[in-house]
Structure 1
Amino acid sequence: MGGRRKARIAIIGAGVSGICLAVKLKLSGNDDFVVFDRGGTVGGVWRENVYPGVSCDVPSRIYSFSFAPNPDWDAYFARGDEIRSYLDRVVERYGIGPHLRLGEEVVEARFVAGEWRVLTARGVESRWDFLIAATGLLVQPALPELEGRNAYRGVAMHSAQWESGVDVRGKRVAIIGTGATGTQMTCALAEETEHLYLFQRTAQWVFPKPARRYSVTTKGLHRLVPGFSRLADRFWRVAFQGTISAAAVSAGWQRRLIGGICRLSLRQVRSKELRRLLTPVDDPMCKRLVAASGFYRAVQQQNVTVVGEEIERITERGILTRDGREREVDVMVFATGFRADTFMRSVNVVGRAGRTIEDVWSDGPRAYRTVALPGFPNFFMMVGPNSPFSSESVMRIAETQSDYVLRWIELFESGAVAEMSPTQEAADRFNELLRSAMPGTVFSSGCASWYHDSRGSLMVWPWTVRSHHRMLSRIQLSHFDIRQREEAGRSGPGSESGACP
């Protein structure tokens, strides 16, 4: 075995998961890491999404790191700017700033001779022992293939590319898409626009999200009494996991409760015709459950029209639907989501023997236990394929996966291992278990959603959140191809070794 030395770690992405791992590394005593990000600031999805009404659909009390509780959340469900400020404070508190390489986009990462060679768009190459893809899940905007999209002469943009200078007050606005973003924007813009057209391809179930704010007294208690804060966080975690998370994976009372609340909330719509238009054909939670405050109230305003007719094409002045009607608008927003199955594929990641991510994911994104790939030594993913992002706070997913990665880094630094990657057999066995468990989940009840990859396979977690934590609470060496330091130095790139017993 080789002697002890600190690992050199490259993290791609300065969003929630990248910041989480960076702090965990700092707390473990490792300062030899950098965090690359193509953006000019940290925040990831919360940096990119600044559209009106943007907020989190997970309770704010559990949308924070366990090592950095936030007593100052303004509301039960935090606004986007609140979350960005929180992440900025975490970066400052733990001294992550000097490790950030903002505005440096990684275009290629190649495993050569036992190390990762990372190349940025500026042509700068650096070398690292570990490569961590913390590139996020909802990062590549999806634009609809609509005829005439480039012919429109007004202001048009994807919701993740909101132009801060756009003033919608007194304007005619079209929102295309009724997912979480479309519903949040509808609630925020209904009062400001001359007329708001919401173009709906398929109806979504909307869970009524409480709009309550925390009082000054409650914030003071969270700040001054740590026990109270811990108790509140525990309450929200148990409540969330015991209802939303449980309803996703088992057909018990929780699923009936969530479905009943959604159906009861829809009864707020007085017009039978509009209610029929807004009633989904699939079961609640089959798609990502949309949580919004005041959506059904907003769509019943006189200046709001929900359009259920299919879009024929985009015109110079607006949108033409299949019924032959053209609606002229001043601003057009594509709230059409993201290509969720891309993960880190914007980077050309090349593993052992020249294997690329595109090669191993030709049949769709797959991973070993949500974090690793066969043939890609010392490479880990944060919030990768089949992570429990449908039923857990991404903050806590990131913590679970960060702790797992740190266990491997500790083994590396102790000299016990030099290279590690899961065996193909272990990865295949895990993914077979995933496939066999999917039919019992609500996600398999017959809808199409961004939970599916381009081939229609589900990318979600089919078990409880606790099982994900238990699974990653320890390393199973027998599932990995392991190389010792001397062996890795002799073998060079492209050679193989046996699995550790």
Structure 2
Amino acid sequence: MKYDVIVIGCGMSGILAGIHLKNSGKKFIILEKEKTLGGTWRDNTYPGLTCDVPSHAYTYSFEPNAEWTRVLPPGAEIQQYFEGVFEKYGIAEFAQFDTEIQKSEWKGDAWVLQDQHGKRYEGRVVVAATGVLHHPNYPQIKGLQDFEGDTIHSARWDHSVPLEGKKIAIIGTGSTGVQIVSALASRAKVRHFQRTAQWIFPVENPAFTEEQRAEFRSNRDLLLYLQREPTYLANVERFTEGVLDPNSEQIQEIQKLCQDNLDNSVQNPALRQKLQPNYRAGCKRLIYSPDYYKAIQQPGSELITEGISQIEKNGVRTSDGVLHEVDIIVLATGFKTDRYVRPMDVTGLNSKTLEQAWSDVPTAYKSISVPDFPNFYFMNGPTSPVGNFSLIDTSEMQWGYITQLIERGEQAGVAGLSAKPEALAQYDQDRQQAAKGSVFGSGCSSWYLDKNGVPNTWPWSQSRFRQEMLAPVWQDYTHHQTEVAVA
């Protein structure tokens, strides 16, 4: 069967694409490598999992949710939200699970895909909604395989392992590690191994009362207002403007709030010094936590800043020679963030592969299109905005842009569209120059950085991204022509 559009991935972006494609009447299919939908929120089920975007802002614009229980939504509720949307909009009939695409090849007027079972699919357009954070990063620590207790990666949580009263090593101090420490400090003896101190932004996460939720249910206008709540949007814009300059007023303001949070929350001077970052706030992704500082000061908690020398059968040995005996090791070590659609083999024009195109670092023109790969479009792909704001908002902007590319590609005589090499080169030059001078490039190690140490993200304001997603600049795209048969 030949499809108008093939969507790869049934997480947040894939479901969004499916809803719009169904409304458009196009023939499409969503192919998902796992057995269920959900992406990030399916894969991550660790204790304490919480989104750092306010609940009502973390919804599709057309589908507000009255049932959030907290200001910052728990992961399980987000997964439930996507499952509900998937069912409500009747996307199941268009989705196929346990289908991992291994090959994708451009055949002149369409893409031919092949899954792990050898089955082939043909589509004029491919939308890669595979996300960024779906290949767990397992650290290369000597002796990790020798540990005789349970080892759990945060993105592959084993709920059969008992946690109560256990001695638990948590390796990693990003938002995941912080959330796990906060969740387990009252249940277990936590050892948090910190390589780099983090700036923690002070937040509260109160529960919505039943009265508030009843008001949400009865007042759709209120829900729509909360989705675009002016103070939240203004804060997002201020932050995304502020990142352009590490010395900006906005970054200094954020840093002062974080510093005051540390100074006022941690009484022990030695512990406070261990938790003191030595880089600008915002260089790494800000961590929002209402209770980490309280958790790490619990009598059964310990922050360990000596480097890890090796893992042994009974625990973690640090560079000072101390063996920290534990029952469980939790790897809150994140993801391989340069994968995107890989390890899929993608072959475009003139047998050019995506591996060749990305031989240096992954990139895409305005995060959407790669030269010589007609009608292959990314959602939340390379150089997309990442930060402390809603990626749903980003995906909706990107879908509006991709829709216009799809429609343009349906014109008579047009086989497909892809960004011109010179357009991508100019975009990357401008983007890298801005990124190097932004707070993301101000001197820390983070998952934003590519292998060359350059932040591989959108380095400008969100309003600029919104503006650029309104309409493609058509002269920046090659319009590949259909071949005309000669009689």
Q: Using structure 1 for the length normalisation, give the TM-score.
A: 0.93
SS in 1 for 2:179: helix
Contact 2:237 2:463 in 1 (8 A): no
How much has 1:490 moved relative to structure 2?
4.9
Say whether 1:360 aligns with 2:357.
Answer: yes
How much has 1:489 moved relative to structure 2?
5.2
Contact 2:436 2:454 in 1 (8 A): no
> Aligned match of 2:89 in 86, 94, 113?
94
Distance 1:80 1:489, change over 3 A: farther
Contact 2:37 2:83 in 1 (8 A): yes
SS in 1 for 2:426: helix
SS in 1 for 2:228: helix
How much has 1:458 moved relative to structure 2?
1.1
Q: Which amino acid aligns with 2:16?
A: C
Say whether 1:10 aligns with 2:1.
Answer: no
SS in 2 for 1:165: coil
Say whether 1:294 aligns with 2:291.
Answer: yes
Q: Which amino acid aligns with 1:422?
A: A
Unaligned runs of 5+ in 1: 1-5, 492-501
Q: Which shifted more, 441-450 or 387-396?
A: 387-396
Structure 2 residue aligned with 1:168? 163
Residues in 1 aligned to 2:349 and 2:154: alpha-carbon distance in whole angstroms: 38
Structure 2 residue aligned with 1:376? 373
Residues in 2 aligned to 1:128 and 1:489: alpha-carbon distance in whole angstroms: 20
Unaligned runs of 5+ in 2: none
Q: Which amino acid aligns with 2:207?
A: R
Contact 2:41 2:78 in 1 (8 A): yes
> Aligned match of 1:154 in 149, 154, 177?
149
How much has 1:206 moved relative to structure 2?
0.9
Distance 1:114 1:242, change over 3 A: closer
Say whether 1:217 aligns with 2:214.
Answer: no
SS in 2 for 1:283: coil
Structure 1 residue aligned with 2:398? 401
SS in 1 for 2:45: coil
Distance 1:203 1:490, change over 3 A: farther
Report matched runs for 1:283-432 at 5 Å. 283-415=280-412, 417-432=414-429
SS in 1 for 2:118: coil
How much has 1:447 moved relative to structure 2?
0.7
Structure 1 residues 219-265: Cα deviation after superposition (integer angstroms, max 9, x where no partner) = 22222222222222222542432443333234433222211111011
Say whether 1:22 aligns with 2:18.
Answer: yes
Residues in 2 aligned to 1:416 and 1:225: alpha-carbon distance in whole angstroms: 49
Contact 1:16 1:44 in 2 (8 A): yes
Contact 2:7 2:29 in 1 (8 A): yes
> Aligned match of 2:130 in 135, 140, 158?
135
Structure 2 residue aligned with 1:231? 225
Residues in 2 aligned to 1:199 and 1:489: alpha-carbon distance in whole angstroms: 63
Distance 1:225 1:415, change over 3 A: farther
Contact 1:351 1:376 in 2 (8 A): yes
Structure 1 residues 81-104: Cα deviation after superposition (integer angstroms, max 9, x where no partner) = 010010011111111111111111
Q: Which shifted more, 153-162 or 219-228?
A: 219-228
Residues in 2 aligned to 1:161 and 1:7: alpha-carbon distance in whole angstroms: 34
Contact 1:351 1:377 in 2 (8 A): yes
Structure 1 residue aligned with 2:52? 57
Say whether 1:257 aligns with 2:227.
Answer: no
Contact 1:247 1:258 in 2 (8 A): no
Structure 2 residue aligned with 1:80? 75
Say whether 1:71 aligns with 2:60.
Answer: no
Residues in 1 aligned to 2:299 and 2:185: alpha-carbon distance in whole angstroms: 10
Structure 2 residue aligned with 1:118? 113
Residues in 2 aligned to 1:390 and 1:489: alpha-carbon distance in whole angstroms: 46
> Between Structure 1 and Structure 2, how many residues are aligned?
482
Contact 2:418 2:477 in 1 (8 A): yes
> Aligned match of 2:176 in 172, 175, 181?
181
Q: Which shifted more, 42-51 or 237-246?
A: 237-246
Structure 1 residues 443-479: Cα deviation after superposition (integer angstroms, max 9, x where no partner) = 1111110001122221111111111111121122211
Residues in 2 aligned to 1:423 and 1:431: alpha-carbon distance in whole angstroms: 12
Residues in 1 aligned to 2:238 and 2:182: alpha-carbon distance in whole angstroms: 25
Q: Which amino acid aligns with 1:214?
A: F
Residues in 2 aligned to 1:83 and 1:278: alpha-carbon distance in whole angstroms: 31
Structure 1 residue aligned with 2:101? 106
How much has 1:416 moved relative to structure 2?
6.3
Q: Give % identity.
A: 34
SS in 1 for 2:201: strand
Q: Using structure 2 for the length normalisation, give the TM-score.
A: 0.96
Say whether 1:472 aligns with 2:469.
Answer: yes
Q: Which amino acid aligns with 1:262?
A: C
Residues in 2 aligned to 1:413 and 1:352: alpha-carbon distance in whole angstroms: 19
Residues in 2 aligned to 1:335 and 1:219: alpha-carbon distance in whole angstroms: 33
Contact 2:133 2:336 in 1 (8 A): yes
Structure 2 residue aligned with 1:246? 241
Residues in 2 aligned to 1:262 and 1:50: alpha-carbon distance in whole angstroms: 27
SS in 2 for 1:74: coil
Report matched runs for 1:192-211 at 5 Å. 192-193=187-188, 195-211=189-205
Q: Which amino acid aligns with 1:266?
A: L
Residues in 1 aligned to 2:388 and 2:51: alpha-carbon distance in whole angstroms: 13
How much has 1:414 moved relative to structure 2?
4.6
Q: Which amino acid aligns with 1:256?
A: Q
Residues in 1 aligned to 2:8 and 2:308: alpha-carbon distance in whole angstroms: 38
Say whether 1:277 aligns with 2:274.
Answer: yes
How much has 1:170 moved relative to structure 2?
1.1
